[in-house]
Amino acid sequence: MNDPFLIPPEPTAQEAIAAITDDLSNFDDWMDRYQFIIEMGRQLPEYPNEWADDAHRVPGCQSQVWMERTMRDGKLFFAGASDAVIVSGLVALLLRVYSGRTPAEILATSPTFLTDLGLIQALSTNRGNGIAAMARKLQEIAAISK
């Protein structure tokens, strides 16, 4: 099996946020941005079926969302999946920012970039709450992994 943990192309969380901001600015409307986010989700590494269980489920999400983590050389790497295509894209977006970072960098990277991108406002209330819950979960994992 291939490595299920996302290895982002950018070396830092801030560079990932800047790249995502640039990517999304290429589109004039939210329908095109949603398509781009859905495409990000389709490019996630394959998530193992045996991890799609209650132990890996992220609470607070309307859709089913699962995440797993591993520590390698002092950095946390995350794997994630969802049963909804747009939510898989949101998982991919978060993992691009937070996966492959040290716990300290994760904790120093506030999820306010989601609001700055206009993403929280553009999503339904439930989806906005869900991505906020996913970001909180990543921050909690970083806090206990220091």
- Considering the chain, what is the average pLDDT of its residues? 94
Q: Sign of dihedral through CA atoms 112, 136, 52, 45?
A: positive
- Render pLDDT for 42-81 as a digit per residue (tens, 0 to 9): 999 999 999 999 999 998 878 899 999 999 999 999 999 9
Q: Is the backbone of residue 41 left (phi > 0), alpha (psi -120 to 50) or beta? A: alpha
Residue 82 pLDDT level (bands cut at 50, 70, 90): very high
Domains of the chain, CATH where assigned: 13-145 (3.90.1010.10)
Active site residues: 61
